[in-house]
Amino acid sequence: MRPEDLSAVVQIEAACFGQPWTKAMFAEELRQEPGWRTVAAEQQGAVLGFLIGRCYADEWHLLDLAVTQARRGEGIGGILLDEFLGSADRAGRSVLLEVRPGNAGALGLYGSRGFTSLALRRGYYPDTGEDALVMIRDPRAGTGGSGDRQGHAGRTAPATVPADVDRAARSFEGLLLAIESSCDDSAAAVLNSRGEVLSSVTHSQDSIHERYGGVVPEVASRAHVERMTAVVSEALRLAECNVDQLAAVAATVGPGLIGALLIGVQTAKAVAWSRRLPFFPVNHIHGHLAAPWLAQSDARFPMVTLVASGGHTLLIRIEDRTTFRLLGQTLDDAAGEAFDKGARLLGLGYPGGRELDELAEKGDPASFPFPIGMRRSPRPDFSFSGVKTALYYLLRGMTAEERARHAADIAASYRQAIVEALVSKTLRAAKQEKVPTVAVAGGVAANSLLRRRLAEAGGHAGMEVLIPPFAYCTDNAAMIGAAALRGPRLDYPDYLAVDASASLALGQWIPAKA
Ligand code: KG4
Ligand code: ZN
């Protein structure tokens, strides 16, 4: 596939898929290594179809395969696929792909080439909410080494983790390296033992996941592998130190995407092991909760904190930086998800929360009525599926011209409904808990209306309101370091048994033994 093929490739893509890749995405894919991109072309040079894959050291991924509509059924897809699979066989690698379960043509083709179903990825396709079928094909016997799929999925029996971790013995003198990789940000930070941040580096994967309309777990893991060493080096460089000057290492061990978490945990454990340093396992939510007092060290406790991100909407009472109690949470979508889905319906950018916020600043929030989820319920819980559905039906009943004309007013009204739910429930919970302080964390804490409204309503109620700077709201490693300083310390070699965990309950620091 050459750059001059891209126009034809984009046309074929657009005719085949509901959520086509753009030309810029293909251009970026051409720069990716180790990549596989081929086109099938007629002698005159017209492109008939194409295949894009990635050839990782342990496994190959088929990312995109399409054939021009007029030439389907001639075996062109099969030729492109067989060339890719033949090479995978020679390299002894398994091939992984995702496909819509309703795409009978594709399923037939993949089935005929030995792909079998591995798993269902729930609600993977954002345009229809359809699940994705994950399929795998092992290399043909006798053609190369073993496709080591079991290798990284398998577990070794862990050694014993001390059950009663001695919190009193956690203190250390010197520098702490903290690592975060639970979702789509690769992050590292260096803090001193007083909790001051010397450096904090975050590498966002938004530009990678944008083309899929959401975070793809395998792609996220790979991107963490590719970047983590550089991110850690950069954090050390900015803190003007090297590995030999570190006194401790911390990492997010859960909750999150398991493949993504593993990269950070293994990196941290490797650094800790190499210098026999202590390791601090951190729960990602405890990290978000630490952001407000990281930004303001003299914060008054207890406090009620709203954690609102793309994956979570939680109201939590914090006693003393180490004791947490869940007061309420969303019953369906997270607040960030509601912003992102709204942005998608309005045709804004990715992930969309920030773009919707910017557009809403120019509109009138009283223009359209949107339901405020759980408004009449006394419980400190949230629901955002109603407001999202209301937006869907509102836009469906409008012409394209009306949608464009009212876009800012719609965005303002939609944002208002989400923020009102967040602010009213947070304030009500804080009053009920009789705390002096209310705080907000997570990516949605960047929302300009939420910041204004919470400051206003909290101030009105006579409470101290903590709103951390944006860099500490979205996923970052500085907050993980701040939480680690309050968490359990594991000494060498006990932490070698600690694994990552996709689900880790609030208050839990160390995943249960496998
Ligand atoms: O905490 P975060 O970086 O990652 C997760 O753990 O999810 O949060 C990202 C979320 C996304 O849904 C994003 O759209 C949203 O935070 N977000 C915003 C704004 N900036 C980021 N939502 C509303 N208004 C914003 N200004
Ligand atoms: Zn997060």
Nearest alpha carbon, ligand 1 atom 14: 353
Q: Tell which one of 181, 203, 330, 339 to mutate to probe ligand 1, the residue whose CB is within 8 A of the most ligand atoms.
A: 339
Q: What is the pLDDT of residue 168?
A: 36
* pLDDT grade for 506, boundaries at 50, 70 and 90: very high
Q: Tell which one of 444, 467, 470 to mutate to probe ligand 1, the residue whose CB is within 8 A of the most ligand atoms.
A: 444
Specify the residue for token string 């303002």: 412
Cα 334 to averaged position of ligand 1 atoms, centre (Å): 10
Minimum mean pLDDT among 15-19, 182-186, 288-292: which range?
15-19
Which pTM was predicted? 0.70
Q: What is the pLDDT of residue 438?
A: 98
Beta pairing partners, 96: 61, 136
* pLDDT grade for 73, boundaries at 50, 70 and 90: confident
Q: Read off the pLDDT of residues 118-172 as tens digits, 9 standing for 90 and up.
A: 877 877 887 788 888 888 998 886 433 333 322 222 222 333 333 333 343 446 7
Phi, psi of 512, deg, nearest 5 = -65, 155
Can you tell me the distance from the alpha carbon of 60 to that of 54, in angstroms, rounded to the nearest whole number?
6
Cα 384 to averaged position of ligand 2 atoms, centre (Å): 19
CA dihedral over 293, 295, 300, 303, signed as positive or negative: negative
Can you tell me the distance from the alpha carbon of 222 to that of 31, in angstroms, rounded to the nearest whole number?
16
Q: Read off the pLDDT of residues 201-246 as tens digits, 9 standing for 90 and up.
A: 999 877 777 777 778 888 888 888 989 999 999 999 999 999 999 9
Q: Which helix (H) or strand (E) holds 157?
A: none
% pLDDT > 90, the chain: 63
Q: What is the pLDDT of residue 18?
A: 81
Residue 328 has pLDDT above 90, yes or no: yes
Q: Which helix (H) or strand (E) holds 472?
A: helix 470-473
Q: Looking at residues 463-492, what average pLDDT do you find? A: 94
Q: What is the pLDDT of residue 189?
A: 98
Can you tell me the distance from the alpha carbon of 443 to that of 468, in angstroms, rounded to the nearest whole number?
11
Q: Read off the pLDDT of residues 357-412 as tens digits, 9 standing for 90 and up.
A: 999 999 999 999 999 998 888 899 999 999 999 999 999 999 999 999 999 999 99
Q: What amino acid is encoded at 291 in this protein?
A: A
